[in-house]
Amino acid sequence: MFRSMVTAIALMATGGSALAQTDAAGAGLTVIHAGHLLAVPGNAPTSNQSILIRDGRIEAIEAGFVTPEGATIVDLSDRFVLPGLIDSHVHLQGELSPQGRLLEVTENSADLALNGVHNARTTLMAGFTTVQDVGGELEASTGLRDAIRDGDVIGPRMRVSGPAVTPTGGHGDVNGFSTAVMDALTSRSACDGPADCRRAVRELVRAGVDVIKITGTGGVLSNTAAGVEQQFFDDELESIVGAAHMMGRQVTAHSHGVTGINSFLEAGGDSIEHGTYLDRDSIRLFRSRNAYLIPTLLAGATVAEIAETADWMTPAIREKSLSVGPVMLEMARSAHEGGVMIAFGTDSGVSRHGINAREFPLLVEAGLTPMEAITTATVNASRHLQMDDEIGTIEVGKYADIIAVDSDPLENIDALMDVGFVMQGGTVYKSE
């Protein structure tokens, strides 16, 4: 019932165009004429290439502009073509605003899912064809993911974590309200002690999440003056990681403080979101465990800027925003220089949806080359999400997730902030 309502409203808003385009894309052969093609970020781009697409996947890539009889030709001969972008850290169900605390206690699952319908479309039109939504209401998250997968809603391909596993009173729990409100809203993913934390992980797996997210440290936007260091005990971290891995799920940790970063990596965790105060030991642990860092520089820049003038931030949130945000660029620089694997992620929902590409110039400012920055959002992110056999490059057999921009982003990374063409799974959703 809930899923049907979301689908019906979404299709009324779009005129059912996604379904119509999917049918058209599957009816025959589509050929993209790419003037400049960055098929595998990290390798040099090529010129004047034809990408042959059938049934949503890449069938062949041929030199020159070929025009098979009966094929639909997409002329991008004057554009720079590259794989669809991947954002490893989004929150599609909402957006940071002065009304945020009120919305926590007034919006229900349906509201959050419908917010997600709108924000998912915005994200796709910005060139992000796959996202990982880490930390949302459970039914809204899985419902939106499945509706997009089935072609009922327009949006990026999604992996979801549902609500974060958090210690009671931690960053992922409800904070800053009356005791009665907090008792009513406390998440079932809040846990205390190894056994209870295994229970929280297993319940999320049962509900169908793709990945487990934990709040390994305090956070900037939780309304509590609990700092940004470790909040789970080591035995709790070990139980979470062990239970998740046993059931085939990776674990990613929201972590700012170095104690939370290092304890989670020591426990066998797979990736760190933010990583603000990492140190040399952190870099050693990242490398020895092949763990990914998702720096979310845009989130740091956003909260630091807002905190300068926003009178609606509580004192605890404002203090953390002003101290954490400004140091994230140097964190990313240190991680990159130390050889840490970086996957692109923005924490969109803190920043506005649709401006995800503003992360790219921040990565470049932190010392990455434009090619390295693009690689974080394609090759690296696809590996981080365990989807590199399906997405992340333009290669035979993979989904035809393809975008195009007017100028070469290897020369000017800002070109990615104005994506004029978006294809996902062989369906053209945007063509300017």
Same domain, 235 and 202: yes
Which residue range is the domain that position 26 belongs to?
13-84+393-431
| Region class of 37: left (phi > 0), else alpha (psi between -120 and 50), else beta | beta
| Residue 61 lies inside a defined structural domain of this protein | yes
With beta carbons less than 8 A apart as the criterion, state whether 342 and 336 touch.
yes
The verdict on 228 and 92 lying in the same domain is: yes
Q: How far apart are CA 422 and CA 32, in angstroms?
A: 12
* Residues 308, 176 within the same domain: yes
Rounded Cα gap, residues 51 and 18, in angstroms: 22
Reported as half-sphere exposure (CB side, CA atoms, 13 A), residue 4 has a value of: 1
CATH code of the domain containing 302: 3.20.20.140
Q: 10-residue block means of pLDDT along the chain (432 residues)?
A: 46 44 56 98 98 98 96 98 98 83 80 96 98 96 98 97 90 66 73 97 98 87 66 97 98 95 98 96 98 95 78 69 78 97 96 97 97 98 98 98 98 98 98 93
Quote the pLDDT of residue 311: 73
Q: How far apart are CA 96 and CA 351, in angstroms?
A: 7
Task: Determine the pLDDT at residue 312.
Answer: 63
Task: Kindly state whether residues 70 and 115 are assigned to the same domain.
Answer: no
Would you say residue 4 lies in a domain?
A: no
Q: Clarify whether residues 59 and 179 are in a common domain.
A: no
Parallel/antiparallel/unpaired status of strands 85-90 and 128-134: parallel
| pLDDT score for 346 | 97
C-alpha closest to that of 6 among 100, 104, 141, 135: 141
Of 204, 290, 187, 291, nearest to 240 (Cα)?
A: 204
Which two three-digit tokens encode residue 20? 């119509």
The reply to whether 377 and 402 lie within a common domain is no
Smallest CA-to-CA distance from 113 within 88, 132, 136 is with 136
Lookup result for tokens 């490059």: 393
CATH number of 411's domain = 2.30.40.10
Q: Are residues 145 and 63 in the same domain?
A: no
User: What DSSP element (H or E) covers 371?
Assistant: helix 370-375
> What's the pTM?
0.89
Q: Is residue 6 part of a domain?
A: no
Q: Does 7 map to a domain?
A: no
Asked which of 365, 384, 403 is the last residue of a domain, the reply is 384
Q: What is the pLDDT of residue 226?
A: 57
Chain Cα centroid distance, residue 176: 27
What is the number of domains present in the chain?
Answer: 2
Based on the fold, state whether residues 185 and 297 are members of the same structural domain: yes
137 and 27, same domain (yes or no): no
The residues with which 162 forms a beta bridge, in sequence order, are: 134
Residues 127, 230, single domain; the answer is yes
The answer for residues whose C-beta is within 8 angstroms of residue 139's C-beta and 6 or more apart is 2, 109, 113
In the prediction, which pLDDT does 96 show?
73
Distance between CA 53 and CA 32 in Å, rounded? 8
The CA-based diameter of the chain, rounded to the nearest angstrom, is 69
258 φ, ψ to 5°? Answer: -65, -35
Look at residue 205 and tell me if it is in a domain.
yes
**Domain co-membership, 66 together with 103:** no
* Whether residue 241 is found in the same domain as residue 94: yes
Q: Could you tell me if residue 53 is inside a domain?
A: yes
In 136-256, which residue ranges form alpha helices assigned H by DSSP? 138-149, 179-185, 194-207, 234-246
Q: 1 in a domain, yes or no?
A: no
- Indicate whether 3 belongs to any domain: no
Contact 410, 419 (CB under 8 A): no
E strand or H helix at 260? helix 258-266
